Structure 1
Amino acid sequence: MKNIITVLLLVLTVSPLLGQDYQAGVASKSYQLIGNDTIFPTKSIYENIKNTTQFTVITQIFELTNAQEEIDKLGMVTVFLPTDAAFAAYDEKALKKLLSASNAEALKAALMRHVIIGRVDQNSLQRNLQQNGGSAYFRSPADIDPEFKSGGSQIQLRIPNAAAATITGTNYYHKLGFIHVVDAFLLEE
């Protein structure tokens, strides 16, 4: 009987400590930084990028196309977001034309090529690439499923007739999945 009481006391003492340890781990991941921009796991993609310094162009695309509403309908998603540097190849006039209301449908289609269904972190992506000889596809809500290719330490996101985007930052949480950072916008030429 004494052994049973000792075991019960031990379980009652250790259980709350394990729970606190788990909670402490969650609290330590309350936000992440992309450069100087803060990304919160409790916010949507748009809520995370709308006040950033390096995602101003993609924020405009989200606003112009109402993309967050469409993405929310998908459930868990992983998105590959280009920074403003990805749009540096456009001069001011070309960028203004790209971001015009008359171009909203094409922009939405291009943006959705940066979205894949499900939560895919960097390790899952690399494992899939290794299992498939350096090339992998994931289901996208877009008209084209993007192809992922590995080459050395880099992973690229590709679609036909567009410049490849290299993944430059990974594993930033949003409330329904992951954000990865890329250096190009997949817009068909």
Structure 2
Amino acid sequence: MTRTVYYTATSLDGFIATADHSLDWLLSRRSDPDGPMGWTGFEQRVGALAMGATTYEWMQAHDPGGWAHSVPAWVFTHRRLTGYPGADIRFTRADVGDVHAEMVAAAGDRDVWVVGGGDLAGQFADRGLLDELVVSVAPVTLGGGAPLLPRRLELVRTEHAVNGEFVCVRYDVVRTRPGSATDPADA
């Protein structure tokens, strides 16, 4: 079954990038891509990508070797962006709810990876389309920047591990019926 997963890293104080969109704090950290909850195992489950324009532009600026993904990618943007030759990148201004079924179909029996950022993941969550959050917490504070997930979201921890310098946690997103006794809005 295809799941929509926000797989990311965060600082201890809950930011995925600095105010100037830098990831230097992350790239200097040690982890094992083949270790617990590591990148290698996750990447094998991915059949489609969703990302915002800022994440896409950061990837263009910091990956001079070209597009590193072989699966279709949707970039949610209102900007005019350039693609990579031969890559299946689809720029869209549509609401995430309007293209989610297309992403799931493209993913086949694999997952949709919400690459970034936090607000985009929040848009999926707002529409009940986010299934899982996998976050690796780095031992650093940034004091500000792009928040991990600028929404209230109820989660249930399903797994945790230590990988290098990171504490990694997998959560399922809790879905409730509006107005039910378990609806977080009623708390």
> Could you tell me the TM-score, scaled by structure 1's length?
0.27
Q: With CA pairs under 8 Å and 6+ residues apart, which has the higher RCO, 1 or 2? A: 2
Higher helix share: 1
Greater share of strand residues, 1 or 2? 2
Larger Rg: 1
